[in-house]
Amino acid sequence: MSDHQNKLRPIFYDTETTGVKADRDRVIEIAAFDPVLNKTFEKLINPGIPIPKEASDIHHITDDMVASAPSFKEIAIEFSEFCEGNVCLIAHNNDAFDVHFLKNEYARAEVPFPSWKFFDTLKWARRYRTDLPRHTLQFLREVYGIEANNAHRALDDVIILHKVFEFMTDDLAFEDVYALLNKPRELQHMPFGKHQGTPIKQLPKSYVTWLSGSGAFDKPENQDLKNALVKHGLLAV
């Protein structure tokens, strides 16, 4: 068996959608880049529902562009085969967005969802680039001096993400990067919001109550914060 089949292989991916609700909206474009095998995947998808104007204004994909495109069901197996092996799918804001759309589309298509691992570069940036005021993909692109491209089209964002990822992780092996992101950590300071930088144990109880009511602790990317607040007695289990 070749070396790249043994190692955890990164595949960068991105979706464009009809909206932001994974249980209601649909994927209209999916793209991926495999830097190990140096191959790309890019498909427009007919969602079977109209694309709202506010979504088209962002990614510039229209109903006419997807009218003759395949459904997700028609490309699901092809995408699975592109991502076959011991792979980890990497997306920016994956944990709160892309992975949920992907899982819902596979479920609707009645195609088995592969046992992929996942990696969220937004989570990595928030954890290891706390010096930055924002962590959007385009802001990170500017920070690292990467040339602009056609933002908010799937393959263009994937290529930018790969370049950003290389800058953020330097010469670390991907398996080490994956292990670092998934290593439990104990937060000492508030990572975002108006109290960013405040020691966790000094956060106002009223602010913690507000965060809880807003649903912030239901988000996967905030589980470290939730655990720290519980430990300091600021949040009930």
Judgement on whether residues 75 and 28 belong to the same structural domain of the protein: yes
228-to-119, 170, 218 alpha-carbon distances in Å = 22, 29, 14
Lowest-pLDDT range of 5-19, 40-54, 72-86: 5-19
Q: 45 burial class (0-12, 13-18, 19+ CB within 10 angstroms)? A: buried
pTM for the whole thing?
0.82
pLDDT at 140 over 80: yes
Q: Reduced to 3 states, what is the DSSP secondary structure of residue 6?
A: helix
- Of 135, 164, 182, the domain-final residue: 182
pLDDT band at 221 (very low <50, low <70, confident <90, very high): confident
Percent pLDDT > 90 in the chain is 82
The domain of 228 spans 184-237
pLDDT digits (tens, 9 = 90+) for 96-131: 999 999 999 999 999 999 999 999 999 999 889 989
The predicted structure's pLDDT at residue 148 = 84
Question: Which residues are designated catalytic?
Answer: 152
Judgement on whether residues 195 and 120 belong to the same structural domain of the protein: no
- Number of structural domains the chain divides into: 2
Lowest-pLDDT range of 34-43, 49-58, 145-154, 195-204: 145-154
44, β-bridge pairs: 29
Percent pLDDT > 70 in the chain is 97
Judgement on whether residues 230 and 195 belong to the same structural domain of the protein: yes
Judgement on whether residues 128 and 228 belong to the same structural domain of the protein: no
Taking residue 89's Cβ as centre, other Cβ atoms within 10 Å add up to 19
Which H helix or E strand runs over 91?
A: strand 87-91
pLDDT at 1 over 50: no
pLDDT band at 202 (very low <50, low <70, confident <90, very high): very high
Structure token pair of residue 145: 């001096």
pLDDT at 4 over 70: no
Judgement on whether residues 90 and 36 belong to the same structural domain of the protein: yes
